[in-house]
A and B are shown apart, each in its own frame.
Chain A
Amino acid sequence: MKPVDQSAAADMFIADVQHERFHDHHLWDLRKGRDQERDQIPEWETLRQLASDIKAHTLTHLADYLEEFERNATANGVQIHWAQDAQEHNRIVGEIFAAHQVKTVIKSKSMLTDECQMRPYLAELGITVIESDLGERIQQLDDDQPPSHIVVPAVHKLRGDVAKLFARTINSDPNNDDPKVLSEAGRQSLRPHFLAADAGMTGANYLIAETGSFVVCTNEGNADISANLPPLHVASVGIEKLIPRIEDLGVFIRLLSRSALGSPITQYTSHFRAPRDGSEMHIVLVDNGRSARLGMADFWTSLKCIRCGACMNTCPVYRRSGGLSYGSVYPGPIGVILNPAIDLHRYRALPYASTMNGSCTSVCPVKINIHEQIYQWRRIISEKQELPLLRRTALDVAAKVLASPALYRRVIAGVDQVSREFPRALIYNPLNAWGLQREIPDAPKATFHQWWAKNRGADHE
């Protein structure tokens, strides 16, 4: 597949001044809200360390905890399925639905089903999946546009955009963009789907090994309706979502919504343990590259991610690029480090769509060293010759100059002869890009080196 051109997509996003401004400000407000919540918790940094340690422990004993979870969940009457990859996940879900003659599914938010591209797969089988999270629903109605943020999927849209979209798709008033009216319209249009669905799907935020139960956190309560109305509940969950004990849960619950939205807790924290009488509950445990990642020395800690989105909210590049520019289910800083492991060629530009400023690392509630992993991915991309040719050649030229004191002196002193040795375009092109929106620093009369030679350097020249 063609590499994603994040930079070009970001330029288009920035060109739309109104949207970019709203996006940047709204997400920065979430970051500020997160800081305020953090200030209420004296032991905040201890909590982060604890969360990181619990995840490290679980991931380093993953097989044991997965088996414990399977034993306990099975004893609770839940049916457990194992999927090695996205295809297997989709096939399993399709088979469960076929066995129950399911035609329509009401689904709450799950990044994993997007990762597996489950909706189009089920559509082929004649099964309609309706998203019940309002943001996801907005994206689905907008010609199946992917979510642009993992917590607030339609954050790149202004309310006027939603009003127009709803007018086109669910017949609401195009001129009323009051958020309350819009969410009520969304809710009303979803209600019949809730009532008519043959099956409900959810993801899970946490799997608890010792109880065999799982926990779903939402603000709209939609997961509860999805899970509790229809007679069949299927949960798709990545194997990294495990935590050992119910006692560990509090650490994550305290961090999750504070980090994500700057609210102390999500409106709903729902525990699912066993099927209701007369219904079935299935959990599909999905690997899809996770155990391979677990074996990558520099990158395995990215599996600690609890998908809070705090790294996106704080990322100055993401806020000004929009999530869709990353061309992947996982945008922003966490996407930058997850995606290259999935397809290095396709996502080779993402680790460069970063200033490596490190704000992501410092807000991450499970202390993933995101910006250091970005740096490590760059090494791999360079090693595998995945840097675009112009960039590679520019680096080769720069390296030659910087490793040779004599040549370096001539280049920075602006001696003309240099341009005969190196193609002009290579030296001047970068400055052209610099100069599009910025002034270039004036050339000083002398370099520091020349100053030294003149004033101090009698011994040298």
Chain B
Amino acid sequence: MTMTPIAPRVALFVPCFIDASFPEIGVATLQLLERLGCIVEYPFNQTCCGQPLANEGDQKNAAACEALFVQNFAGYDYIVGPSASCIHHVRQHMDAIEQTDEVTQVRTHAYELVEFLHDILQVRDFPWASFPHKVALHNSCTSLRSLQPPLASMSEIRGPAFSKPKELLANVPGIEWVELERADECCGFGGLFSIFEEGVSAKMGYDKVDDQRRAGAEYIVSADMSCLMHQKGCAQRLGYGQKYIHIAQILNGDTV
């Protein structure tokens, strides 16, 4: 295994909904990166990458948000965030502002947590972690079909199967994987879609959590908490017992 010789200097990007609703995922990400030898800084005036606005097509409003993001994150070797959709926005869509060298530097140095662990740190062992449960993996659509390069192979394309999240979790003792019938069908979150197309969004979510329940999953793990927030809301409303957990929490060995 190759470890980067000098401790990488990492700027921690805590997406707004994680900051507000799931701080424990931010903490798990921070502790995990430090355990793996990174020097982690938290740019203090960060808010949001602009994705919720830009995904609505609202470039005008996204611009100020994106500018603030760049102000906070310029100059770091690695910007790491535990959310594929936010990193996808930064890397592939953040163009509401002028594309200066500074902006380009930020956009090309942003990493989703799993890809940072898998591709950059190339770590495969998390000796402090164990997770003795039946687990289903949820890969967000963004992480499969939009993020370049993708975190895992998708069911639509003919080609070799791979999954970076599963590779990371392969050495965590106790995990018993269960497979869903429609493993990578969208769960219906879709950002503001979940609000403005509430009916379809919830129906998709109900179908997803039904599938997880039928598969006998105790936990659903994902690198994207936004999907899980929606799925968890659906499962709770239906009175289902399965639980939802971010991959950073398992890899960090959090007690849940």
**Cβ-based interface call for B215 (8 A):** no
Residues in A with CB closer than 8 Å to B158 are 38-39, 41-42, 44-45
A321 to B47, CA, bound (A): 35
Residues in A with CB closer than 8 Å to B48 are 402, 408
A371 to B88, CA, bound (A): 14
Contact among B19, B57, B194 for A412, CB-based, below 8 A = B19
A405 to B43, CA, bound (A): 11
**Cβ-based interface call for B162 (8 A):** no
Report if A387-B57 is in contact (Cβ < 8 Å); known contacts: A433-B198, A434-B233, A438-B205.
Answer: yes
A165 to B236, CA, bound (A): 41
Query: Is the pair A403, B47 in contact by a Cβ cutoff of 8 Å?
Result: yes
Report if A371-B146 is in contact (Cβ < 8 Å); known contacts: A352-B193, A402-B48.
Answer: yes
**Cβ-based interface call for A399 (8 A):** yes
**Cβ-based interface call for A275 (8 A):** no
Residues in B with CB closer than 8 Å to A451 are 23, 26-27
Residues in B with CB closer than 8 Å to A405 are 45-47, 68
Query: Is the pair B59, A382 in contact by a Cβ cutoff of 8 Å?
Result: yes
**Cβ-based interface call for A381 (8 A):** yes
**Cβ-based interface call for A10 (8 A):** yes
**Cβ-based interface call for B22 (8 A):** yes
**Cβ-based interface call for B133 (8 A):** no
Query: Is the pair B237, A363 in contact by a Cβ cutoff of 8 Å?
Result: no
**Cβ-based interface call for B36 (8 A):** no
A295 to B155, CA, bound (A): 34
Within 8 A of A (CB), among B67-104: 67-68, 93
**Cβ-based interface call for A81 (8 A):** no
**Cβ-based interface call for B197 (8 A):** yes
Within 8 A of B (CB), among A30-75: 35, 38-39, 41-42, 44-45
A371 to B194, CA, bound (A): 17
Residues in B with CB closer than 8 Å to A145 are none
Report if A378-B193 is in contact (Cβ < 8 Å); known contacts: A357-B145, A362-B156.
Answer: no
Query: Is the pair A382, B202 in contact by a Cβ cutoff of 8 Å?
Result: no
Q: Chain A contact residues: over half helix, strand or loop, or mixed?
A: helix
Residues in A with CB closer than 8 Å to B185 are 316, 359
- Interchain nearest-CB distance for A425 vs B (Å): 13
Within 8 A of A (CB), among B106-159: 141, 144-146, 154-159
A314 to B186, CA, bound (A): 10
Within 8 A of A (CB), among B174-203: 182, 185-186, 188-191, 193-203
**Cβ-based interface call for B6 (8 A):** no
Query: Chain A: which residue is nearest B186 at the CB level?
Result: A357
**Cβ-based interface call for A317 (8 A):** yes
Within 8 A of A (CB), among B6-50: 14, 16, 18-24, 26-27, 42, 44-48, 50
Residues in A with CB closer than 8 Å to B55 are 356, 375, 378
A120 to B256, CA, bound (A): 64
Report if A317-B59 is in contact (Cβ < 8 Å); known contacts: A399-B65, A403-B65.
Answer: no
Report if A448-B232 is in contact (Cβ < 8 Å); known contacts: A398-B52, A405-B47, A412-B20.
Answer: no
Query: Is the pair A7, B204 in contact by a Cβ cutoff of 8 Å?
Result: no
Residues in B with CB closer than 8 Å to A96 are none
Binary interface encoding of chain A residues 156-175 relative to chain B, with 1 for a CB under 8 A from any of its CBs, else 0: 00000000000000000000
- Interchain nearest-CB distance for B239 vs A (Å): 10
Query: Is the pair B23, A441 in contact by a Cβ cutoff of 8 Å?
Result: no
Chain A residues with a Cβ under 8 A of chain B = 6-7, 10-11, 14, 20, 24, 28, 35, 38-39, 41-42, 44-45, 314, 316-317, 320-321, 351-359, 361-363, 371, 375, 377-383, 387, 391, 395-396, 398-399, 402-405, 408, 412, 430, 433-434, 436-441, 443-444, 446-452, 456-457, 460
A353-B200, A362-B157, A399-B62 known; 20 new pairs, CB 8 Å cut-off, are A6-B197, A7-B196, A317-B200, A320-B200, A352-B56, A354-B193, A355-B188, A355-B189, A355-B190, A363-B156, A380-B57, A391-B56, A398-B53, A399-B65, A402-B48, A405-B46, A434-B233, A437-B237, A449-B19, A457-B42
Across chains A and B, which 4 residue pairs bring their CB atoms closest together, nearest first? A378-B57, A355-B190, A438-B233, A358-B145
